[in-house]
Amino acid sequence: MNINIYYGGRGIIDDPTIFVINRMTEVLEELRVKVRRYNLYDVKNEIMTLPQTLKDTDGIILASTLEWFGMGGYMLEFLDACWLFGNKEKIASIYMMPVVLSTTYGEDEVMQQLNTAWMTLGGKLCQGIAGYIESSAKLEMNGQYISILDKRAENLYRMVNQKMISLPSSLKSVRQAAAVRQSGNLTPQESEQLSKYVSDDSYVKRQKEDIQELAGMFMDKLKRDGAGDETEFVSEFKAKFKPIAGLRAVYVFNIPDKDKPFVIKISDGRLECVYGEADKPDVTVQASRDVLQGIISGDISFDMAFMKGKLSMKGNFNTYKQLDQMFQF
């Protein structure tokens, strides 16, 4: 799967949009997605050629920073290029997620403009991200905000992977009826621009996250719900275990109703199921007791639970998918 990110801000250090797309890049790459990023301010003289980069992509993120009014000239120029020179048949198959962070006001309007522009081009939409953030530090220090970014990135992956459909839009008729200038009528300047290759300027900034939620006020309720039961799920997993030759992995299940994480350790065909902590797990899963009960009952698989957004995971995605091979409930 290929996802392109088009960043329309100015590239300043404290731009919260940069933190957001860096975080989403990290999550997508953990899901084995190939992410390419184009900073429009770096290729401002070649923006008219950028629609060529859409031909190999399955989804895109249009990221814009609202600093005073509107989405900014670089993003508008890129959308103009898609309208004038983009392959409309290819665009019709591409999912777009808008990301708009505002340091003033008006982020919702700009996100709607991006959605409208992409629908007019004939493309498909994903749920976007819009918000007012004074600085990137406001995002970095807030675990709940980061969780939202992770979930939106996972949702983008699911929509593209499952090729989810949506109801048709009336804007499609606008695209079909409007007279678009053909490539044979290009000016000499535009022809020169379209003869250039666009450089791939992409980078990933790694950001560690280790934020724990305080749940002291709910301790009594959790105990009544079986939070202290360190035998739940153990026998079920042991009964269905089918070892995979050569696999060594540690899975950690964070269950909101439990005092301790549920840890599964696989080593040379041996299985260990305990409640406790684990250093450097290969896969960390966030799931409710109800979801795990559904998996054990055979109502849903681990892979399907992730694809439907019933649980979230972090770590090696291929190692996660082996759960369904080892535990065939």
Judgement on whether residues 95 and 226 belong to the same structural domain of the protein: no
Share of the chain above pLDDT 90, in %: 55
Domain assignment present for 77: yes
Any bridge partners for residue 160, and if so which? none
Of the pLDDT bands very low, low, confident and very high (cuts 50, 70, 90), residue 170 is low
Domain assignment present for 136: yes
Judgement on whether residues 74 and 124 belong to the same structural domain of the protein: yes
Q: How many domains does the chain have?
A: 2
Query: Do residues 297 and 289 touch, judged by C-beta distance below 8 A?
Result: no
Share of the chain above pLDDT 70, in %: 81
Judgement on whether residues 141 and 50 belong to the same structural domain of the protein: yes
Domain assignment present for 203: no
Judgement on whether residues 152 and 235 belong to the same structural domain of the protein: no
Domain assignment present for 200: no
Judgement on whether residues 166 and 220 belong to the same structural domain of the protein: no
Alpha helices (H) in the chain, listed in sequence order: 16-30, 73-85, 88-91, 107-121, 136-140, 143-162, 171-177, 188-194, 219-224, 234-239, 289-296, 302-307, 317-321, 323-326
> Whose CA is closest to 16, among 109, 201, 145?
145
> 158 burial class (0-12, 13-18, 19+ CB within 10 angstroms)?
middle
Domain assignment present for 73: yes
Give me the mean pLDDT over the 220-227 stretch: 52
In the three-class reduction of DSSP (H, G, I as helix; E, B as strand; rest coil), residue 184 is classed as: helix
DSSP secondary structure letter of residue 48: G
Of the pLDDT bands very low, low, confident and very high (cuts 50, 70, 90), residue 137 is confident
Predicted local distance difference test score (pLDDT) of residue 190: 56
**For the chain, what is the mean pLDDT?**
83
Judgement on whether residues 283 and 315 belong to the same structural domain of the protein: yes
Judgement on whether residues 6 and 109 belong to the same structural domain of the protein: yes
pLDDT of residue 188 exceeding 80: no
Biggest CA-to-CA distance, the chain: 75
Judgement on whether residues 149 and 119 belong to the same structural domain of the protein: yes
Give the CATH number for residue 18.
Answer: 3.40.50.360
Domain assignment present for 210: no
Give the CATH number for residue 223.
Answer: 3.30.1050.10
Of the pLDDT bands very low, low, confident and very high (cuts 50, 70, 90), residue 197 is very low
Domain assignment present for 204: no
Range of 252's domain? Answer: 216-326
pTM of the complete model beyond 0.85 = no
The residue written with tokens 């996972």 in the block is 154
Domain assignment present for 209: no
